[in-house]
Amino acid sequence: MSDLLQHQLEFFTRPEYRPLLAQGRRGIEREALRVDPQGRLALTPHPAALGSALTHPHVTTDYSEALLELITSPHADPAQVLVELDRIHRFVQQRLGSELMWAHSMPALLPAEPEIPIAWYGSSHIGMLKHVYRRGLAVRYGKAMQCIAGIHYNFSLSEDLWDALRKDQGSPLSQRDFQSERYIAMIRNFQQRAWLLMYLFGASPALPLNFLQGRPHQLEKLADDTLYLPYATSLRMSDLGYQNKAQVGLIPPYNTLGEYMRSMARAVQLPYPEFEAIGLRKEGQWIQISTNVLQIENEYYATIRPKRVTRTGERPLQALCERGVQYIEVRCMDVDPFEPVGISLQTARFLDVFLTACALTGSPLVDLPRANEYRSNFATVVREGRRPGLLLHRDGAAVPLAQWGQEMLDEILPVARLLDQQSGGNAHVEAVRAQAQCLASPELTPSARVLDQVRAHQGSFHRFALEKSREHAASLLQRPVTGDQLDRLCSEVEQSLSEQGDMERRDTGSFDEFIEAYRAATPTELRC
């Protein structure tokens, strides 16, 4: 255990400071493809019964018109987050008719790429900007990759907690800057340790044959319609999933918030020849926001991001530059196909322990060789994390995955105890101990369980995932949303449709003028 972690654990045992641990916020964004009863990608529009994908606070779409994104409000207790997530799932399934929410991160059966519908957000300038951005993703990387689904876990510690630590350490930084830099330090710790999350929670060791759309690969065949790697944990997070050669080396090690923002600002302003060759328009229509390395900041594919809630029309960089880091977004979690809402409460509690430990542990600055070591470990685990005797590298030395993983669990166990002391019970300690079993017995991991189930379905990923999707739909429909909760959700649908209409009526000027102004909105002090 680091000296800083030991000191801060002792700090939060004091009665006056311990309550601060319960004042942070957690939220979940779960992506799920809509599919027809046979498990084929739904080609229908986003259902009006779910409201406006542009303005609804809890039900929207990501890349494809069929890729739902279900979003909770932030809560102090992950149990509250899961209750809300469950309620949103039940409501959505009630309104999908015969369609299902796909129970896996890797896509259902996809049509030919031209037939995959890009999400539509209406004719307002903001709605068109979101649509054009997705057109850009299509021409840059293809549509199939954008149909992958995941779980995003949003996490923050309270501002009062950060301020208490700032005063305890006698930091000369302002409260905002201290909080921002500690979140960046937390991200450095996360990047070193993120391979453990892939081992413990990766759930995509197999994928449908047609996902690759004829691209070359090194996967093995499990059945006529299924490819896999025998020891993989998360092919979603491998180079078969979110890959972007334009982004290689884009962001240097996360050593300061300013360094991160300057790198991101360069990327949204730096022309990229391959994207320049595509052009901005085709047949008079915008097909990408820019021809630069990134169209917008969100195009950067990262396992974790520093975040700040943005105002309407505000760019993420603007928000971070003006008001600092507010929370972090963990983006590497696979959908758990064994859970109707894609994640269990025990997993959420483990993430709370893991992320709190990352926030409170000392984090020295990282040079490029060390950052490359982190990336190499992560890539190794997503492709062969369950391989017996697998070695990773720590500070240049080889170390067995199981040994290092157990050392990490031992290190964060005191954090789990502290969180349990604050909340009562032993749920956090049990969440850590459950993952120790997975380290000792790889067959207990979600990726191993998925492969077992795929094999039990004649080696067909599609048969397994479709069966789970049907099971989850039936489970959700057995507990329909009723009463005041249903009235509130229906009101949100109607309000979102009304808000979209208002936005479309209020717009002035041309979309060309709007998109040019948006592209120019990088904070002045970060311009290259």
Phi first, then psi, for residue 412 (nearest 5°) are -90, -5
Predicted local confidence at residue 235, as pLDDT? 96
Q: Are 66 and 99 within 8 A, CB to CB? A: no
Predicted local confidence at residue 1, as pLDDT? 66
Predicted local confidence at residue 252, as pLDDT? 67
Non-local CB neighbours of 218 within 8 Å, separated by 6+ positions? none
Whole-angstrom distance, CA of residue 519 vs CA of residue 528: 14
Predicted local confidence at residue 7, as pLDDT? 86
pLDDT per residue over 461-509, tens digit each?
999 999 999 999 999 999 999 999 999 999 999 999 999 999 999 999 9
Count Cβ atoms within 10 A of the Cβ of residue 114 and give its class: 0-12 exposed, 13-18 middle, 19 or more buried.
exposed
- Buried b / exposed e over 315-350, threshold 16 CB at 10 Å, is bbbbbbbeebbbbbbbbbbbbbbbbbbbbbbbbbbb
Predicted local confidence at residue 518, as pLDDT? 86
pTM of the model: 0.96
Q: Are strands 151-156 and 397-400 parallel, antiparallel or unpaired?
A: unpaired
Predicted local confidence at residue 528, as pLDDT? 36
| Dihedral of the alpha carbons of 399, 406, 233, 41, in degrees to the nearest 10 | -150
Number of H helices, E strands in the chain: 16, 14
Predicted local confidence at residue 253, as pLDDT? 72
**34's tokens:** 């809509």
Q: Which segments of the chain have a pLDDT < 50?
A: 527-528
Q: How far is CA 362 from CA 189, 305, 461, in A?
A: 8, 19, 42
Protein fold of 3-526: Creatine Kinase; Chain A, domain 2 (3.30.590)
**401's tokens:** 């995955």
Predicted local confidence at residue 311, as pLDDT? 85
Phi first, then psi, for residue 494 (nearest 5°) are -65, -40
